[in-house]
Amino acid sequence: MNLKEILKPLSRFVSELGMVGYLFFQCALLAFQRPLKIDYIVRQMEFVGVKSLPVVFLTGTFTGMVLALQSYYGFRKVGAEGLIGVTVALSMTRELGPVLTGLMVASRAGSAMAAEIGTMRVTEQIDALVVMALNPVKYLIVPRVIASFLMLPILTIIADVLGILGGYFVAVKLLDVGEGIFLNRMYRYLEFHDIYVGLVKAACFGIIFSLICCCKGFYAKGGAEGVGKATTEAVVASCVSILVSDYILTSLLF
């Protein structure tokens, strides 16, 4: 294998990173340019936010429940069942709430973004916008990125609350951990900063997945097959980017 072949994936990665970065700056500039297209943003907020409620609902609840169950198993060995409440709360708010919400919404709404914009690309609808002298980034990408940026923290709050409720249900109602100690430890050790860190991360994940998915769709080519490929790549790239950026953001916001 020669050097060129080895460097090919790397150069592709760099060029895709460049495309996403370019779109990010375009979005940042266009977001504040009139007309603001509030109606487009609201429609996307409904799609990204409201329509993601069921999946976030289920993910949040069951994650909290299983967290309580697993930590019960561990803590019982050292007689520290009282710490289940705070363990569930910290894990949900700092880590699992934002990350799982990000992953679920990226697979649900992000795949739809890539497929929709990709289809618009291959059926020349994006060209149609351009020849009408309208900026497709402004009409198609900016509303989706803004909507994801705004809705992910809200969805994360819901996931956090439901996760803690799920954990409470399993620990207190099913496993007979004392209600007082469960709540007391949680109140004492959970700080506002923990919730805040989680929400900042969620907002960043919103920007990351929506930009990647829109970008993949926007530069899709090659008919239905191309759109399918773009959609798959979009979801995989979004999820990996969420996990990688999660580590970076956590270490920065610690």
Partner 1 sequence: MEDVVIRIVELKKSFENNRVLDGVNLEVERGKITVIIGKSGSGKSVLLKHIIGLMKPDSGEIWVDGVEITRLDESELNKMRTKFGVLFQEAALFDSMTIWENVAFPLIERTKMRKEEIKRIVDEKLEQVGLFGHDDKLPSEVSGGMKKRAGLARALVLDPPVVLFDEPTAGVDPVTALTILRLIQDTQRKLKKTYVIISHDIIGMFRIADKVAMLSGGKIIAYGTPEEIISMDVEEISQFLEAARIKEIGGKK
Encoding tokens for residue 131?
């020849």
Q: Least distance in Å: CB of 148 to partner 1? A: 18
- CB of 204 closer than 8 Å to CB of 106: no
Q: Toward partner 1, which CB reaches closer, 46 or 127?
A: 127
Q: Least distance in Å: CB of 131 to partner 1? A: 5
Q: Toward partner 1, which CB reaches closer, 139 or 169?
A: 139
Cis, bond preceding 136 (omega within 30 deg of 0): no
Q: Toward partner 1, which CB reaches closer, 129 or 253?
A: 129
Cα–Cα distance list, 250 to 92, 127, 193, 210, 247 (Å): 14, 40, 12, 20, 5
Q: Toward partner 1, which CB reaches closer, 10 or 132?
A: 132
Neighbours of 181 (CB within 10 A): 16
Q: Least distance in Å: CB of 126 to partner 1? A: 9
Q: Least distance in Å: CB of 224 to partner 1? A: 13
Q: Toward partner 1, which CB reaches closer, 56 or 120?
A: 120
Torsion of CA 230, 231, 234, 236, to 10 degrees: -110
Cα–Cα distance list, 168 to 8, 54, 84, 86 (Å): 51, 20, 9, 10
Chain residues that interact with partner 1, rule: CB under 8 A: 119-120, 123-125, 127-128, 130-134
Q: Toward partner 1, which CB reaches closer, 46 or 124?
A: 124
Q: Least distance in Å: CB of 122 to partner 1? A: 10
Residues of the chain by 3-state class (helix, strand, coil), percent to 5: 90, 0, 10
Question: How many CA within 13 A on the CB side of residue 244?
Answer: 8
Q: Least distance in Å: CB of 48 to partner 1? A: 15
